[in-house]
Amino acid sequence: MDLNLSEHIVRTVVIAPSQRIDAFNAPELRAALDQQIEGGARRFVLDLTNVPFLDSAGMAVLVRLLKRARDQGGDVRLVWPTEEAARRIIRLTKFDRVFTMAETAAAALVDF
Amino acid sequence: MERHPDTLRLDLPATNKYLNVLGACLDAFIERINGVAEPRITAYNIQLAVNEIFANIVAHAYGDAPDGRVDVVVMLATDPRRLLIELSDTGSAFDPETVAEPDFEDVQIHGYGLFLARSLLDDVTYVRCPDGNTWRLIKYL
């Protein structure tokens, strides 16, 4: 039987920073994510569980990643931060409508 | 700003490197204020708002030039109780009116900083002074 089988693997990366993300270190995160995109990753889970603080520069990195991933046919899932104030900021900026949100990285991976 | 005995004054280099120092100072200052509603969330919101104004000064007033300074004054005022925060610099003028609100229907990379500061505080005022700029922030507690 000729099955004409082909396998398609979409590389998925989980990133789980554990420090504050602000205008000082956001460029470092952006560079790391750019490197992953250029290396072929298309699906990203940004696990914000242990991120104690996220400013607009960090949020800009997330949006940039989303645009770049989608341009390549991929997508980004966010895991809610534990910090309630940070969760409220994600709602305030409506990031929870732009990104698909998950409570855990495992749930985010299932969602892809 | 009229000085109160409890006024805190920080003289910081105009670099994002010390945003964590600024944030920690604000957190610690607010922690010692009694009876703040939702203290953790209030402290986070104030820290984030001030962080955004500071980063804006670094990027726009000084254009990431390395030798600028930012003078930050934090004061707890009464009747009504409020936190007053002033950030002063000697950099270029900034026109807050040129900053558009974020478009939530078409997510964008930039434009959230001033939106966050204005959303999280009760008042955000920018003043162009002869020798620089001053941002006056108020949060009622």
Over residues A39-77, the pLDDT tens digits come to 999 999 999 999 999 999 999 999 999 999 999 999 999
Rounded distance, CA B83 to CA B1, Å?
Answer: 12
Secondary structure of chain B as H, E, C letters: CCCCCCCEEEEEECCHHHHHHHHHHHHHHHHCCCCCCCHHHHHHHHHHHHHHHHHHHHHHHCCCCCCCEEEEEEEEECCCCEEEEEEEECCCCCCHHHCCCCCCCCCCCCCCHHHHHHHHCCEEEEEEECCEEEEEEEEEC
Q: Which domain holds residue A101?
A: 12-111
Q: How far is A11 from chain B (nearest CA, A)?
A: 24
Give the pLDDT confidence of B19-63 residue by residue, as tens digits: 999 999 999 999 999 999 999 999 999 999 999 999 999 999 998
Judge whether A2 lies within some domain: no
Q: How far is B112 from chain A (nearest CA, A)?
A: 6
CATH architecture classification, B8-140? 2-Layer Sandwich (3.30)
**Rg of chain B (C-alpha set):** 15
Residues of A in Cβ contact (< 8 Å) with B52: 55-56
Task: Read off the CATH number of the domain in which A88 is found.
Answer: 3.30.750.24
Whether this model's pTM surpasses 0.90? yes
- State the best of B50, B109, B121 to mutate against chain A, taking most chain A CBs within 10 Å: B109
